[in-house]
Homo-oligomer: A and B are copies of this chain.
Amino acid sequence: MSFRSLTIKPGRLLNTIHETAQRFGAKGVWGPESTQTGVCRLSLSDYDKGVRDWFVEQTKSLGCEVKIDEIGNIFAIYPGKNNDAKPTAIGSHLDTQPTGGRYDGVLGVLSGLEVLRTIKENGFVPNYPIALINWTNEEGARFPLSIMASSVWSEQIPLEQAYKLQSVTDIDPVTVEHELKRIGYLGPVKASYKTNPIAAHFEIHIEQGPVLEDANEKIGIVIGVQAYSWFKVRVYGKAQHTGTTPLAARSDAILAASKMIIKGNELAKKHNCLFSVGVFTLKPAVVNVIPEFVEFIIDVRNVKDDGLSAILEEIKDEFPKISKESGRNLSVEFELIYTSNAVNFHSDCINCVRDSAISIVGKDKVREMISGAGHDSCATNSRVPTSMIFIPSKNGVSHNPEEYSSPEEIHTGLEVLLNAVLQYDAFRSN
């Protein structure tokens, strides 16, 4: 049987997306339909536990062997003809943002599940096993380190560093290790590409930007991911009375921080980068005291590593100048949280995605593109051939409940994924 002739059950993937959204964290109503909400399923939360348990049950019922590693990654391995060989993997993440939609990450895992269901129903046996992976804390929302557990698996981040990470969305911060234990997903398998290997990694994802939609194209063949860096900025000022301290006598930490945020945006324009501040706290946080301390986290991105370094250098030059100019008792400090270098995906996997996409939507409806967001595929690509498939995002909206891709776009994406993975399976056996 040729893999080109498998029949996909229409609409089932979309149903699975909506059913799991409904059961595990639906939030953020944006329309009258019950499907018109986002999802808030923070990593290692109770909802995350719920969807994980469901995922394990579903994949086991398909005949998968399920392995859970020590950072909570779930590997569901569907058997092939040659079960001693490394599996070909499909992976993404089931965690979402606090203001998340129904598709970011979830689409990738559930499309993978639908690939396994389709193979099984069609009685197709792949040459090699297929691993469907749910990676832990891709979002970096609850625990501020994105692509966390795939990076532990690729040995780019030490396990201990991930374990110690503190949540930023809980009133009383908890660690990754604590939450893994609490929800029962600190597994026995070592988190390592060496001892728990895969042969390749495919991931389908919503674009999260406007490019495909604007060009009226259907599939993005993702050839790489831009570089990004997250770091903390701490501004130290002096607590003083708002009513008695002349402007000129102040060391106002929030005034200096405001200037830094504006400067960062200016530098981003100049360097053709992105600059954002999503986390910002201050002390003592009362109305009539000039803040003595401000801490914020910066997210900077550029398609090239050089471009990223250039803006980071200028920021590290400019912010201390701002702090100096803004008050005698002001100082500023930087702490790097995370850098993800620019990624170039592997031509073997890109070729499978390209062939599959062109055969399904035609060459006028595909585009080779660079991802603006980081993905677990960045981590896997450091160790094994990897590529990604994008489908259009309505208005380019993401990390927002209104994330939307149409039923047709979702179905087409699934077809492209199925064919790309099975083409790779065939290619490996040549």
Give residues in A with beta carbon < 8 Å to B.
97-99, 139-142, 144, 146, 168-169, 171-172, 207-210, 226, 228, 230, 238-247, 249, 252, 254-255, 257-259, 261-262, 265, 268-269, 274-280, 282, 284-292, 297, 299, 301, 337, 371-374, 396-400
Contact = CB atoms under 8 A, between A and B. Distances in A.
Contacts of A280: 254, 280, 282, 285, 291
Nearest to A232: B287
Nearest to A340: B243
B286 A141 contact: yes
A258 B262 contact: yes
Contacts of A399: 239-242, 288-290
Contact of A245 (B97, B146, B396): B396
A404 to B, nearest CB: 14
A259 B264 CA distance: 13
Contact of A288 (B141, B172, B285, B288): B141
Contacts of A168: 285-287
Contacts of A286: 97-98, 139-142, 144, 168-169, 278-279
A269 B255 CA distance: 14
Given A146-B288, A286-B98, A286-B169, A226 B243 contact: yes
A171 B171 contact: yes
A243 B141 contact: no
Nearest to A42: B286
Given A242-B276, A254-B261, A269 B289 contact: no
